[in-house]
Amino acid sequence: MPRPKQRTEELRRRILNTALDVIAAEGVAGFTTRRVVEGASTSLPAMYELFGDKSGLVREIFFEGFRRLRGELDTLASSTDTRADLVRLVQAFRRFHQRNPVLARVMFSRPFPEFDPGPAEEEAGRSVREHVVGHVQRAIDARVLEGNPTDIAHVILSVAQGMATVEVAGWLGTSKASVERRWTLAIDAVLDGLQPHAKASRS
């Protein structure tokens, strides 16, 4: 009778989920493959067979982060108020950072020297950007915004990422009211500056 397969998809998911738990609890400095395999009740050879090496495991964490972020964005319903939809999208991006600060760091700051994102990793990020581009295009079609949708999407994501990173680090304010006020100021400044009448007044 053949031996049951040890390197199963269930084991792969268990290792990946454990890795996400370890990185959330221990941070980048405390993340080791040994802690992951101990938490997943498996072995280093099994992990290496499934993921190749530590960089392969980090790569899968990177992919999983973008899958989760895109999944959260996909739950947002569209409305006839395209500006409000963009604000909700930014707030969803913010919540993702709040709930997953270390995972967001892996996705956007590249803290592991052994992990160098390549074309496949860029594609994972592109899925999120294209989702934002779609919302921006709706706002342009509604004459709420004006400009290149890809450029605008990059700006919105960059501002949201920067604000979220500063907030998680505790540098955005000492009270909930001040933090919320600064988020509103940043979002309104970007969206107001991209309105058709705002561009016309500068020309």
Residues 105 and 180 in one domain: yes
**CATH label of the domain that carries residue 186:** 1.10.357.10
Q: Residue 124: which pLDDT band, with cuts at 50, 70 and 90?
A: confident
Out of 18, 35, 52, pick the residue that ends a domain. Answer: 52
Residues 67 and 143 in one domain: yes
- Distance separating alpha carbons of residues 88 and 187, to the nearest angstrom: 11
- Distance separating alpha carbons of residues 167 and 5, to the nearest angstrom: 45
Whether the per-residue pLDDT at 73 is higher than 80: the answer is yes
Q: Write the Ramachandran bin of 194: left for phi over 0, alpha for psi from -120 to 50, otherwise beta.
A: alpha
Residues 125 and 162 in one domain: yes
The reported pLDDT for the residue numbered 197 is: 79
Residues 33 and 75 in one domain: no
Residues 70 and 156 in one domain: yes
Residues 144 and 186 in one domain: yes
Residues 104 and 17 in one domain: no
Whether the per-residue pLDDT at 24 is higher than 70: the answer is yes
Residues 192 and 115 in one domain: yes
The mean per-residue pLDDT over the stretch 150-178 comes to 96
Residues 28 and 91 in one domain: no
**Tokens linked to 149:** 């949708």
Q: What is the 3-state secondary structure (H, E, C) of the chain?
A: CCCCCCCCHHHHHHHHHHHHHHHHHHCCCCCCHHHHHHHCCCCHHHHHHHHCCHHHHHHHHHHHHHHHHHHHHHCCCCCCCHHHHHHHHHHHHHHHHHHCHHHHHHHHHCCCCCCCCCHHHHHHHHHHHHHHHHHHHHHHHCCCCCCCHHHHHHHHHHHHHHHHHHHHCCCCCCCHHHHHHHHHHHHHHHHHHCCHHHHHHHC
**CATH label of the domain that carries residue 6:** 1.10.10.60
pLDDT above 90 covers a percentage of the chain that reads: 77
The reported pLDDT for the residue numbered 113 is: 82
The mean per-residue pLDDT over the stretch 7-25 comes to 92
Residues 43 and 72 in one domain: no
Its pTM stands at 0.86
Q: Residue 4: which pLDDT band, with cuts at 50, 70 and 90?
A: very low
Domain carrying residue 134: 59-202
The mean per-residue pLDDT over the stretch 31-45 comes to 94
Domain count, the chain: 2
Residues 165 and 193 in one domain: yes
Out of 10, 31, 52, pick the residue that ends a domain. Answer: 52
Q: Residue 2: which pLDDT band, with cuts at 50, 70 and 90?
A: very low
Residues 185 and 90 in one domain: yes
